[in-house]
Amino acid sequence: MKQIPKILLIYTGGTIGMIMDFKTGALENFNFNELLTYVPELNLLDCSISTKSFKKPIDSSNMNPDYWVRLTTIIEKNYDTYDGFVVLHGSDTMSYTASVISFMTENLAKPIIFTGSQLPIGDLRTDAKENLITSIQLAALQHKGNPRIAEVCLYFEYKLYRANRTTKINAQHFQAFASLNYPPLAESGVELSINEEALLIPNRRKKFRVFKELGKGIVLLKMFPGMDAQTFRHIVSYDEIQGLIIETYGSGNVTTQTWFLSGLKKLIGRGIPVINVTQCSGGSVNMGLYHTSVALKKLGVISGKDITTEAAVAKLMYLLGHGISSKSFRTIFETSLRGEMS
Protein backbone atom coordinates (compact mmCIF):
# COMPACT_ATOMS: atom_id res chain seq x y z
CA MET A 1 0.00 0.00 0.00
CA LYS A 2 1.26 3.48 -0.88
CA GLN A 3 2.39 5.36 2.22
CA ILE A 4 1.23 8.93 2.52
CA PRO A 5 3.95 11.50 3.33
CA LYS A 6 4.42 12.41 6.97
CA ILE A 7 4.83 16.08 7.80
CA LEU A 8 5.94 17.59 11.07
CA LEU A 9 4.52 21.03 11.73
CA ILE A 10 6.56 23.03 14.23
CA TYR A 11 5.13 26.16 15.81
CA THR A 12 7.64 28.66 17.18
CA GLY A 13 5.30 31.63 17.56
CA GLY A 14 4.32 34.70 15.59
CA THR A 15 1.07 36.19 14.34
CA ILE A 16 0.02 33.07 12.45
CA GLY A 17 -0.81 31.19 15.64
CA MET A 18 -2.80 33.96 17.26
CA ILE A 19 -6.46 34.54 17.87
CA MET A 20 -8.28 37.50 19.30
CA ASP A 21 -9.37 37.33 22.91
CA PHE A 22 -12.80 38.90 22.47
CA LYS A 23 -12.94 39.97 26.10
CA THR A 24 -9.71 41.95 26.08
CA GLY A 25 -9.38 42.66 22.35
CA ALA A 26 -5.73 41.54 22.48
CA LEU A 27 -4.02 38.96 20.28
CA GLU A 28 -2.84 35.84 22.05
CA ASN A 29 -1.39 32.46 21.12
CA PHE A 30 -3.99 29.78 20.59
CA ASN A 31 -3.59 26.23 21.81
CA PHE A 32 -1.66 24.66 18.97
CA ASN A 33 -3.14 21.24 19.70
CA GLU A 34 -6.43 22.71 18.56
CA LEU A 35 -5.05 23.59 15.14
CA LEU A 36 -7.57 21.37 13.39
CA THR A 37 -10.43 23.32 14.96
CA TYR A 38 -9.21 26.44 13.22
CA VAL A 39 -8.08 24.87 9.96
CA PRO A 40 -10.29 21.81 9.40
CA GLU A 41 -9.13 21.86 5.76
CA LEU A 42 -5.92 20.20 6.99
CA ASN A 43 -7.94 16.99 7.29
CA LEU A 44 -8.36 16.96 3.52
CA LEU A 45 -4.65 16.95 2.68
CA ASP A 46 -3.07 13.82 1.29
CA CYS A 47 -0.50 13.52 4.06
CA SER A 48 -0.37 12.89 7.78
CA ILE A 49 0.44 15.86 9.98
CA SER A 50 1.93 15.81 13.45
CA THR A 51 2.54 18.96 15.44
CA LYS A 52 5.09 20.23 17.93
CA SER A 53 5.17 23.61 19.53
CA PHE A 54 7.71 25.65 21.49
CA LYS A 55 6.54 25.47 25.11
CA LYS A 56 6.35 29.22 25.16
CA PRO A 57 5.76 30.49 21.59
CA ILE A 58 7.65 33.71 20.94
CA ASP A 59 7.31 36.84 18.90
CA SER A 60 10.09 36.40 16.39
CA SER A 61 11.70 39.67 17.48
CA ASN A 62 12.93 37.66 20.45
CA MET A 63 14.49 34.98 18.24
CA ASN A 64 18.10 34.09 19.09
CA PRO A 65 20.70 31.32 18.56
CA ASP A 66 19.44 29.31 21.56
CA TYR A 67 16.05 29.01 19.86
CA TRP A 68 17.78 28.07 16.60
CA VAL A 69 19.49 25.21 18.41
CA ARG A 70 16.15 24.21 19.92
CA LEU A 71 14.52 24.19 16.49
CA THR A 72 17.27 22.21 14.80
CA THR A 73 17.23 19.73 17.68
CA ILE A 74 13.53 19.07 17.03
CA ILE A 75 14.29 18.54 13.33
CA GLU A 76 17.29 16.34 14.11
CA LYS A 77 15.30 14.08 16.47
CA ASN A 78 12.48 13.71 13.96
CA TYR A 79 14.45 13.70 10.73
CA ASP A 80 14.15 9.98 10.00
CA THR A 81 10.47 9.76 10.94
CA TYR A 82 9.14 12.55 8.71
CA ASP A 83 9.28 13.33 5.00
CA GLY A 84 9.12 17.06 5.42
CA PHE A 85 8.96 19.89 7.97
CA VAL A 86 6.90 23.06 8.07
CA VAL A 87 7.98 25.70 10.56
CA LEU A 88 5.53 28.38 11.64
CA HIS A 89 7.46 31.50 12.58
CA GLY A 90 6.83 35.23 12.99
CA SER A 91 7.58 37.06 9.78
CA ASP A 92 9.79 39.76 11.36
CA THR A 93 12.92 37.64 11.65
CA MET A 94 11.85 34.69 9.53
CA SER A 95 14.51 35.31 6.88
CA TYR A 96 17.25 35.32 9.54
CA THR A 97 16.06 32.08 11.15
CA ALA A 98 15.41 30.32 7.87
CA SER A 99 18.81 31.40 6.53
CA VAL A 100 20.68 30.16 9.57
CA ILE A 101 18.78 26.87 9.59
CA SER A 102 19.84 26.37 5.97
CA PHE A 103 23.46 26.37 7.15
CA MET A 104 22.94 24.44 10.39
CA THR A 105 21.25 21.53 8.60
CA GLU A 106 24.07 19.79 6.74
CA ASN A 107 23.37 17.32 3.89
CA LEU A 108 19.68 18.09 4.05
CA ALA A 109 17.63 15.89 1.73
CA LYS A 110 14.12 16.85 2.87
CA PRO A 111 12.12 20.08 2.77
CA ILE A 112 12.04 22.49 5.68
CA ILE A 113 9.50 25.15 4.77
CA PHE A 114 9.09 28.30 6.86
CA THR A 115 5.85 30.19 6.77
CA GLY A 116 3.80 32.63 8.80
CA SER A 117 1.22 35.29 8.11
CA GLN A 118 0.43 38.95 8.34
CA LEU A 119 -2.99 38.36 9.91
CA PRO A 120 -3.70 35.87 12.71
CA ILE A 121 -5.21 32.53 11.80
CA GLY A 122 -8.37 33.48 13.68
CA ASP A 123 -8.96 36.59 11.55
CA LEU A 124 -11.68 36.44 8.88
CA ARG A 125 -9.38 37.89 6.20
CA THR A 126 -6.38 35.87 7.26
CA ASP A 127 -3.57 34.95 4.87
CA ALA A 128 -2.53 32.24 7.33
CA LYS A 129 -4.64 29.42 5.91
CA GLU A 130 -3.33 29.59 2.36
CA ASN A 131 0.25 29.98 3.57
CA LEU A 132 -0.09 27.02 5.91
CA ILE A 133 -1.99 24.67 3.60
CA THR A 134 0.23 25.26 0.57
CA SER A 135 3.42 24.99 2.64
CA ILE A 136 2.28 21.58 3.83
CA GLN A 137 1.36 20.52 0.30
CA LEU A 138 4.76 21.59 -1.00
CA ALA A 139 6.56 19.82 1.84
CA ALA A 140 4.60 16.65 1.05
CA LEU A 141 5.41 16.57 -2.68
CA GLN A 142 7.19 13.38 -3.67
CA HIS A 143 9.03 12.25 -6.75
CA LYS A 144 10.06 8.60 -7.19
CA GLY A 145 9.72 8.01 -3.48
CA ASN A 146 11.82 11.02 -2.46
CA PRO A 147 10.79 14.52 -1.41
CA ARG A 148 10.58 16.76 -4.47
CA ILE A 149 12.02 19.73 -2.57
CA ALA A 150 15.11 19.15 -0.48
CA GLU A 151 16.19 22.48 0.95
CA VAL A 152 15.21 25.19 3.41
CA CYS A 153 12.48 27.36 1.89
CA LEU A 154 10.17 30.19 2.81
CA TYR A 155 6.59 30.22 1.54
CA PHE A 156 4.51 33.39 1.60
CA GLU A 157 1.67 34.74 -0.51
CA TYR A 158 1.70 32.20 -3.36
CA LYS A 159 5.47 31.96 -3.72
CA LEU A 160 8.03 29.47 -2.48
CA TYR A 161 11.51 30.94 -2.15
CA ARG A 162 14.94 29.62 -1.27
CA ALA A 163 14.97 30.80 2.35
CA ASN A 164 18.48 32.20 2.38
CA ARG A 165 17.64 34.45 -0.57
CA THR A 166 14.73 36.20 1.12
CA THR A 167 14.21 39.50 2.91
CA LYS A 168 11.13 40.89 4.59
CA ILE A 169 10.16 43.88 2.50
CA ASN A 170 6.74 44.92 3.75
CA ALA A 171 5.13 45.17 7.17
CA GLN A 172 1.57 45.51 5.86
CA HIS A 173 1.16 43.75 2.54
CA PHE A 174 0.38 40.06 2.34
CA GLN A 175 3.33 39.88 0.00
CA ALA A 176 5.80 40.48 2.81
CA PHE A 177 8.90 38.83 1.34
CA ALA A 178 11.03 39.16 -1.75
CA SER A 179 13.91 37.24 -3.25
CA LEU A 180 15.43 39.73 -5.62
CA ASN A 181 18.52 37.80 -6.61
CA TYR A 182 16.99 34.36 -7.13
CA PRO A 183 13.76 33.23 -8.80
CA PRO A 184 10.95 31.59 -6.81
CA LEU A 185 11.27 27.82 -6.46
CA ALA A 186 7.55 27.36 -6.93
CA GLU A 187 4.39 29.38 -7.46
CA SER A 188 0.90 28.59 -6.38
CA GLY A 189 -1.83 29.39 -8.85
CA VAL A 190 -4.54 27.13 -10.16
CA GLU A 191 -1.76 24.55 -10.05
CA LEU A 192 1.41 24.32 -8.02
CA SER A 193 4.15 25.00 -10.52
CA ILE A 194 7.66 23.97 -9.54
CA ASN A 195 10.69 25.69 -11.02
CA GLU A 196 12.71 22.46 -11.26
CA GLU A 197 15.85 24.15 -12.56
CA ALA A 198 16.04 26.45 -9.54
CA LEU A 199 15.96 23.64 -6.94
CA LEU A 200 19.02 22.44 -5.04
CA ILE A 201 19.95 18.84 -5.78
CA PRO A 202 20.70 16.98 -2.53
CA ASN A 203 23.38 14.38 -2.07
CA ARG A 204 21.29 11.60 -0.53
CA ARG A 205 24.29 9.42 0.19
CA LYS A 206 25.71 11.83 2.76
CA LYS A 207 24.36 11.58 6.27
CA PHE A 208 22.18 14.40 7.54
CA ARG A 209 23.56 16.19 10.58
CA VAL A 210 22.98 19.37 12.48
CA PHE A 211 25.69 21.89 13.33
CA LYS A 212 24.93 23.76 16.54
CA GLU A 213 28.07 25.68 17.53
CA LEU A 214 27.31 29.06 16.03
CA GLY A 215 29.96 31.75 16.38
CA LYS A 216 29.40 34.89 18.47
CA GLY A 217 30.67 38.46 18.46
CA ILE A 218 29.31 39.58 15.10
CA VAL A 219 28.84 43.26 14.31
CA LEU A 220 26.59 44.46 11.48
CA LEU A 221 27.24 48.02 10.40
CA LYS A 222 25.18 49.95 7.89
CA MET A 223 27.06 52.71 6.06
CA PHE A 224 25.44 56.13 6.04
CA PRO A 225 26.72 59.54 5.06
CA GLY A 226 27.74 61.26 8.26
CA MET A 227 28.94 58.16 10.10
CA ASP A 228 31.02 59.40 12.96
CA ALA A 229 34.77 58.57 13.05
CA GLN A 230 34.82 58.23 16.85
CA THR A 231 31.91 55.80 16.92
CA PHE A 232 33.44 53.72 14.16
CA ARG A 233 36.84 53.56 15.88
CA HIS A 234 35.10 52.49 19.04
CA ILE A 235 33.26 49.66 17.26
CA VAL A 236 36.32 48.27 15.50
CA SER A 237 38.48 48.37 18.60
CA TYR A 238 35.98 46.25 20.53
CA ASP A 239 37.90 43.27 21.98
CA GLU A 240 35.24 40.61 21.56
CA ILE A 241 34.50 41.28 17.91
CA GLN A 242 34.84 38.09 15.83
CA GLY A 243 33.46 39.28 12.50
CA LEU A 244 32.19 42.47 10.91
CA ILE A 245 29.61 42.82 8.16
CA ILE A 246 29.50 46.20 6.46
CA GLU A 247 26.34 47.04 4.54
CA THR A 248 27.77 49.23 1.84
CA TYR A 249 26.36 51.49 -0.85
CA GLY A 250 25.41 50.20 -4.30
CA SER A 251 27.89 47.70 -5.68
CA GLY A 252 29.97 47.66 -2.48
CA ASN A 253 31.15 51.25 -2.11
CA VAL A 254 32.21 53.06 1.06
CA THR A 255 33.63 56.37 2.17
CA THR A 256 37.36 56.60 1.39
CA GLN A 257 38.15 58.66 4.50
CA THR A 258 41.32 57.50 6.26
CA TRP A 259 39.71 56.82 9.64
CA PHE A 260 37.34 54.35 8.00
CA LEU A 261 39.87 52.48 5.89
CA SER A 262 42.52 52.36 8.61
CA GLY A 263 39.93 51.05 11.09
CA LEU A 264 39.15 48.20 8.73
CA LYS A 265 42.84 47.58 8.12
CA LYS A 266 43.49 47.18 11.84
CA LEU A 267 40.59 44.79 12.20
CA ILE A 268 41.68 42.63 9.27
CA GLY A 269 45.22 42.72 10.67
CA ARG A 270 43.84 41.12 13.84
CA GLY A 271 42.50 38.25 11.68
CA ILE A 272 38.87 39.38 11.95
CA PRO A 273 36.88 38.74 8.76
CA VAL A 274 35.18 41.80 7.28
CA ILE A 275 32.34 41.06 4.84
CA ASN A 276 31.03 43.50 2.26
CA VAL A 277 27.30 43.20 1.50
CA THR A 278 25.26 45.76 -0.37
CA GLN A 279 22.48 47.66 1.34
CA CYS A 280 20.52 47.51 -1.94
CA SER A 281 17.83 44.84 -1.83
CA GLY A 282 18.91 43.47 -5.20
CA GLY A 283 22.15 43.20 -7.13
CA SER A 284 25.69 42.34 -6.15
CA VAL A 285 28.87 43.67 -4.58
CA ASN A 286 31.59 44.18 -7.14
CA MET A 287 34.70 45.55 -5.43
CA GLY A 288 36.93 47.47 -7.78
CA LEU A 289 34.18 48.67 -10.08
CA TYR A 290 34.26 52.15 -8.49
CA HIS A 291 37.18 53.99 -6.98
CA THR A 292 35.27 53.92 -3.66
CA SER A 293 35.64 50.16 -3.32
CA VAL A 294 39.16 49.61 -4.68
CA ALA A 295 40.75 50.04 -1.24
CA LEU A 296 38.44 47.44 0.29
CA LYS A 297 39.63 44.85 -2.16
CA LYS A 298 43.28 45.67 -1.40
CA LEU A 299 42.65 45.43 2.34
CA GLY A 300 41.30 41.90 1.96
CA VAL A 301 37.65 42.63 2.62
CA ILE A 302 35.52 39.58 1.71
CA SER A 303 32.91 39.99 -1.01
CA GLY A 304 29.39 38.99 -0.03
CA LYS A 305 28.51 39.13 -3.75
CA ASP A 306 24.71 39.04 -4.02
CA ILE A 307 24.06 37.53 -0.58
CA THR A 308 21.32 39.04 1.59
CA THR A 309 22.31 40.62 4.89
CA GLU A 310 20.28 37.95 6.68
CA ALA A 311 22.18 35.13 4.97
CA ALA A 312 25.50 36.90 5.54
CA VAL A 313 24.82 37.03 9.29
CA ALA A 314 23.84 33.35 9.22
CA LYS A 315 26.85 32.25 7.18
CA LEU A 316 29.26 34.25 9.29
CA MET A 317 27.95 32.68 12.52
CA TYR A 318 28.11 29.25 10.92
CA LEU A 319 31.67 29.62 9.60
CA LEU A 320 32.97 31.25 12.80
CA GLY A 321 31.50 28.29 14.68
CA HIS A 322 33.63 25.98 12.56
CA GLY A 323 36.77 27.82 13.66
CA ILE A 324 37.98 28.22 10.07
CA SER A 325 41.42 29.83 9.82
CA SER A 326 41.58 33.43 8.60
CA LYS A 327 43.58 32.13 5.61
CA SER A 328 40.79 30.04 4.16
CA PHE A 329 37.92 32.16 5.49
CA ARG A 330 37.64 34.35 2.42
CA THR A 331 37.59 31.44 -0.06
CA ILE A 332 34.95 29.58 1.92
CA PHE A 333 32.79 32.65 2.51
CA GLU A 334 32.91 33.57 -1.15
CA THR A 335 31.81 30.05 -2.13
CA SER A 336 28.12 29.25 -2.25
CA LEU A 337 27.40 26.57 0.36
CA ARG A 338 23.58 26.37 0.26
CA GLY A 339 22.73 28.29 -2.88
CA GLU A 340 22.84 31.56 -0.92
CA MET A 341 24.93 33.43 -3.50
CA SER A 342 25.33 33.32 -7.25
Q: Dihedral sign for Cα 187, 193, 194, 198, please.
A: negative
Q: Which of 12, 15, 93, 115 is catalytic?
A: 15
- The minimum distance between CB 163 and ligand ASP, in angstroms, equals 15
> Which one, 67 or 260, has the nearer CB to ligand ASP?
67
Q: Are 5 and 47 in contact (CB under 8 A)?
A: yes
- The phi, psi pair for 31, rounded to 5°, reads -70, 115
Q: Is 247 in the site for ligand ASP (CB under 6 A)?
A: no
The reply to whether 15 belongs to the active site is yes
Look at residue 57 and give its three-state secondary structure.
coil
For ligand ASP, how many residues bind (rule: CB under 6 A)? Answer: 10
Q: Is 106 in the site for ligand ASP (CB under 6 A)?
A: no
Binding flags for ligand ASP, 3-42, as an x/- string (CB under 6 A): ----------xxx---------------------------
Among 83, 92, 127, 310, binds ligand ASP (CB under 6 A): 92
Q: Which of residues 114-173 bind ligand ASP (CB under 6 A)?
A: 116
Cα of first residue to Cα of last residue in the chain, in angstroms, is: 42
Distance CA 160, CA 198 (A): 11
Which residue in the shown chain puts its C-beta closest to ligand ASP? 90
- The minimum distance between CB 59 and ligand ASP, in angstroms, equals 4
Strands (E) in the chain, as ranges, are 6-11, 18-20, 27-29, 48-53, 84-88, 105-106, 112-115, 142-143, 146-147, 152-156, 159-162, 167-168, 177-178, 186-188, 192-194, 209-210, 218-222, 243-248, 274-278, 302-303
* Choices 23-31, 55-63, 67-75, 126-134 (CB under 6 A): range interacting with ligand ASP: 55-63
What letter would DSSP give residue 323?
Answer: T
| Enzyme catalytic residues | 15
What residue ranges bind ligand ASP (CB under 6 A)? Answer: 13-15, 59-61, 90-92, 116
